[in-house]
Structure 1
Amino acid sequence: MPADTPSPLAAAVSTRRSYSRVTADAPSRAELMPLVALAAQVADHGALRPWRLIELRGEARERLGEALAAASGHTGMDRARLVAKPLRAELLIAVVACRRDSAKVADWEQDVAAAGVGHALSLLLDDAGWGVMWRTGPHTRSAAVREMHDLSATEELLGWLYVGGIPDDARPAPRPPLAPEDFLTAL
């Protein structure tokens, strides 16, 4: 391949954008499964597969909103805003690090593998034409949100991928290029 022609992977990475607003369209479970299988191919020291994904649709999004509001302690309009946040997309995918007992692989390495799955899935969804944004917030690891996701003591919620259709008027502007020499150093 000529050097001036980007690979399909390079093109997918360079054009990926986060969409803070999406339409009510969302991939079906059948459309999602092959993308999850591909995302599972990320680097995973020890082949522990220390992650899982939780699909939230319909009423599950409402329960998440209630858990976020409970965690915040807010009332009135502030509470209502938190309750509505998970309703901004028809599909949310919780990315969960599932720490396994391992003398060889530290918890942080397992968390990185789980984050890699989330990032790979966001790239794959974007490449498939879906709008995606990885969201977190101050209540992501609260007791109420942990309980709502039925997390075990060895699991940590890393956030949610909000997934939906891309509105015609919501195409983000291209990112300004960065200077790679500012981020790659040598010893």
Structure 2
Amino acid sequence: MSVAAASAREAALARRSWPKVTDAAPGDAELVSLLDAASRVADHASLAPWRVIAIRGDARARVGRAIADAAGAEGDAAEKLAAKPLRAPLLLALVAVVREHPKVPAWEQEAVAAGVGHQLSLLLDDAGWGVMWRTGPYTRHPLVAAAHGLADDERLLGWLYVGGRPEGARPERRTGSPAAGRFSSLG
């Protein structure tokens, strides 16, 4: 096994979701550097059918209000939903940019965008940041799309919530082998 393969395997095995993070966050230059690496996923026809939107500061509250409005929530329920994007100092909206192509269906373009998001989460974790990929029933709602400035051919896949890792215990590692019951071989 090559050194790079061992490092990629170790990074994948070490990755954890960090549901709580501090107010520290990577800057745009670091994010672009990590995205350069994350974008190396398999991409049929080299469409690069993805983009990432960094959401910081008050923009997080605007996204939260859009989620609450999309849910039709009122009162305390609306406040709870609207506060969710404030759990991290940086949200990275993962967006699939889907266009008509004779050989690359929409699902495959979304898979590429999801692959970039997953690679980015691994790279952020490996760089020492706390990361958690969050989704929900309103990622495809028109109000949430509008809050992100999405075009008609763009589909929100969720957000990476990113921040500093708090002092103390690392989140628990999953136990067992999830692959053991999900692998089969034909031949």
Taking structure 2 as the reference length, the TM-score comes to 0.94
Displacement of 1:27 in angstroms is: 0.4
**How far apart are the structure 1 equivalents of 2:105 and 2:168?**
44
AA of the residue aligned to 2:117: G
Instruction: Report 1:33-182 matches (<5 A).
Output: 33-178=32-177, 180-182=179-181
* Structure 1 residues 6-52: Cα deviation after superposition (integer angstroms, max 9, x where no partner): 81111100010001111100001111110011111111011000001
Displacement of 1:125 in angstroms is: 0.1
Displacement of 1:87 in angstroms is: 0.5
Tell me the secondary structure at the aligned position of residue 16 of structure 2. coil
Matched residues, number = 184
AA of the residue aligned to 2:185: A
Displacement of 1:94 in angstroms is: 0.4
Query: Given that residues 122 and 161 in structure 1 are in contact (C-alpha distance below 8 angstroms), is that contact kept between their aligned partners in structure 2?
Result: yes
**How far apart are the structure 2 equivalents of 1:92 and 1:123?**
15
**How far apart are the structure 2 equivalents of 1:161 and 1:79?**
22
Displacement of 1:139 in angstroms is: 1.2
**How far apart are the structure 1 equivalents of 2:139 and 2:121?**
19
AA of the residue aligned to 2:12: V
**How far apart are the structure 1 equivalents of 2:169 and 2:147?**
31
AA of the residue aligned to 2:31: L
- CA 1:162–1:179 in 2, change beyond 3 Å: closer, same or farther? closer
AA of the residue aligned to 2:13: S
**How far apart are the structure 1 equivalents of 2:138 and 2:81?**
10
Displacement of 1:177 in angstroms is: 2.5
Task: Tell me what 2:11 maps to.
Answer: 12
Stretches of 4+ moved more than 4 A in 1? Answer: none
The alignment's C-alpha RMSD in Å is: 1.4
Taking structure 1 as the reference length, the TM-score comes to 0.94
Please say which of residues 158-167 and 148-157 is displaced more in the overlay: 148-157
* Structure 1 residues 125-174: Cα deviation after superposition (integer angstroms, max 9, x where no partner): 00000000000111111111011111111111000000001112351112
AA of the residue aligned to 1:59: D
Question: Please, which runs of 5 or more residues in structure 1 have no aligned partner?
Answer: none
**How far apart are the structure 1 equivalents of 2:71 and 2:93?**
19
Please say which of residues 66-75 and 175-184 is displaced more in the overlay: 175-184
Query: Given that residues 19 and 170 in structure 1 are in contact (C-alpha distance below 8 angstroms), is that contact kept between their aligned partners in structure 2?
Result: no
Tell me the secondary structure at the aligned position of residue 133 of structure 1. strand
